[in-house]
Structure 1
């Protein structure tokens, strides 16, 4: 009889433990970078951005974040039901963006993420929300004036970026391409003379050129080497989130917040932005 009482008590305790575990499971992190599956009510959302791109995605010395992509991400997250203090920005470098979404490290990525066919095989995109163009950043006294001048020159870009791929395939096949882990490293190389030019999107280059320590030292070559349609990356198959983000982007444009963010973040560099693109309309590169 004593054995039966102990067994019954143990069974009851086990049932209670299992019930408590099941009830508490709703607050755990899901596979999309959110700590709550019921919107922003008491939960957190993880959003991928760049940490080293002035004017677009920059982590400042005080730990705060600034830039056009940051403003876009914050606006979108708000429309998804999250307040600013519920947003956790996660650094996502170019080479790791697809993996970060596949692993569920973040809910979405707003990080100068150009939409292309190869990437669409791995992730889904909302947008586009900005049309940029690949360009060159060179020293103010540089004699580089066209793409073919890069042949034989030391050119820097970031590992995994479409800019590096464009250079290797068609722009200047004979350029000595240097691939670094960040654009800030490329800019430092340009300043020291380790490289002759840096190539990426004009929006990114304008952000660096406008920094106080670089004013007057660099210039944009003014070449539209490609069309870069920036999209918001989402985990493959998450069409519901794509639809919500597209609606948020449309609202951001219609209420004037989009242009305000462009002017505030890229205006100081005299950046001539293209009009806000229409959702789902990709501007192709010239054939």
Structure 2
């Protein structure tokens, strides 16, 4: 076989290196020196996924994500966090920008056409947040009287309002924190999303808000990952099962959501991959 010129070998070597490099960012074989595991979560949901002023991450979703990472061989200092707004989650997974997402990510049939889920690791329900002095919003039905309701673009709660409560004036923002700010200044009448998310915001501003009515859905949070990656899905599922069994799941719930007045439920049974 004739030998390639030295320059050609250099080009071949560069091409091999270019192909290999993306995998070091999101590999799952264990955290080697320099390797990072890129995980998606929310940055603006207190009690679940929050980027603190000092740059650290906190919340129940963050603790679940870190436990899974540890079981995959990645200590906390090998994690790179990627903000994952509701409307961008499928794209972030499909484009390989994250290895998995733990971000109040409800498992739905339409999403399962695009990504896979390990879980559910938490079950909650859609509810309503209003200002503490509000007396005329008592549940979902009372929104039909031309109330202005805020939720997030691309979210399951927003779609449910469109489908089931067409008489509501639905405002869709990019983040729930923007919705809460609009509620605070009177631009909208209520915010809707899952109860655990609303509880986090209520706890962050004591006395300013209250949750009203009963939850009117069942949301099953899953860990989103690339479709048909059965090996990773199985590893994540095994990690969450271990977290539930050794008490770490309840400890994380109590630490992050207990201050909002929510009692930890029994951990949900996980579906197979």
TM-score (norm 2): 0.93
Residues 115 and 190 (structure 1), Cα distance of their counterparts in 2 relative to 1, 3 Å cut: same
**Partner Cα distance (1:97, 1:35) in 2:** 16
Q: 1:58 aligns with which of 37, 42, 50?
A: 50
SS of 2:118 mapped into structure 1? strand
Q: Where does 1:218-233 land on structure 2 (aligned, <5 Å)? A: 218-233=209-224
Residues 146 and 16 (structure 1), Cα distance of their counterparts in 2 relative to 1, 3 Å cut: closer
Q: Which position in structure 1 is the counterpart of 2:61?
A: 69
Q: CA deviation digits over 1:87-128, x for unaligned, max 9?
A: 000001000000000000000000000001010000000010
Q: Which position in structure 2 is the counterpart of 1:79?
A: 71
1:239 aligns with 2:230: yes
**Partner Cα distance (1:247, 1:23) in 2:** 33
Contact 2:126–2:192 (8 Å) recurs in 1: yes
SS of 2:200 mapped into structure 1? helix
Q: 1:40 Cα deviation (Å)?
A: 1.8
Q: Which position in structure 2 is the counterpart of 1:130?
A: 122
Write out the 4+ residue segments of structure 1 that deviate beyond 4 Å after TM superposition. Answer: 22-27
Q: Which position in structure 2 is the counterpart of 1:159?
A: 153
Q: Which position in structure 2 is the counterpart of 1:284?
A: none
Contact 1:158–1:179 (8 Å) recurs in 2: yes
Q: 1:84 Cα deviation (Å)?
A: 0.6
Larger radius of gyration: 1
**Partner Cα distance (2:26, 2:263) in 1:** 39
**Partner Cα distance (1:39, 1:15) in 2:** 33
SS of 2:259 mapped into structure 1? helix
Contact 1:49–1:109 (8 Å) recurs in 2: yes
Q: Which position in structure 2 is the counterpart of 1:46?
A: 38
Q: CA deviation digits over 1:186-230, x for unaligned, max 9?
A: 10111111111000000000000001xx21111111411100000
Which sections of structure 1, spanning at least 5 residues, go unmatched? 1-7, 282-287
Residues 37 and 72 (structure 1), Cα distance of their counterparts in 2 relative to 1, 3 Å cut: closer
TM-score (norm 1): 0.88
Contact 1:54–1:67 (8 Å) recurs in 2: yes
SS of 1:226 mapped into structure 2? coil
Aligned residues: 268
Q: Which position in structure 2 is the counterpart of 1:190?
A: 183
* Cα root mean square deviation, aligned: 1.9
